[in-house]
Amino acid sequence: MTLEELRDQIDVLDRQLVELLSERARAALRIGHLKAATQLPVYEPAREKVIYSNVRAANKGPLPDIELTHIYERIIDVMRCLQKDELASEKNAQALAPGRAAGAETPETGKKQ
């Protein structure tokens, strides 16, 4: 294959990775909602260990297990932040729901009603 063909292949793979990461993020958000509803913590180190174990077991190379684990550590960190941000956003939205105190600032303008 030529350099251009290989780069085209990488571009296709990158688009597939983006879609898969987006799908994973959507699942992580749904999990975050379930955790909030059942009062479970967002951070679950035992579950993360299972994920790392699963990833290493599926690894056929050429990435070394430790490098793949580093990639997944970052992915999981981003997903955890996404869950926390989403849940914090929802709590803020609920706090600002109709029936809020008179004189409260509106989220759109920051001005008092």
- Determine, yes or no, domain membership for 112: no
User: Domain holding 21: CATH number?
Assistant: 1.20.59.10
Predicted model pTM: 0.76
CA 71, 73, 75, 77 torsion-angle sign: negative
- Determine, yes or no, domain membership for 23: yes
- Determine, yes or no, domain membership for 94: no
pLDDT, tens only, 53-100: 999 999 999 999 999 999 999 999 999 999 988 888 877 777 887 765
Domain total for the chain? Answer: 1
- The domain containing residue 29 runs over which residues? 14-84
- Determine, yes or no, domain membership for 99: no
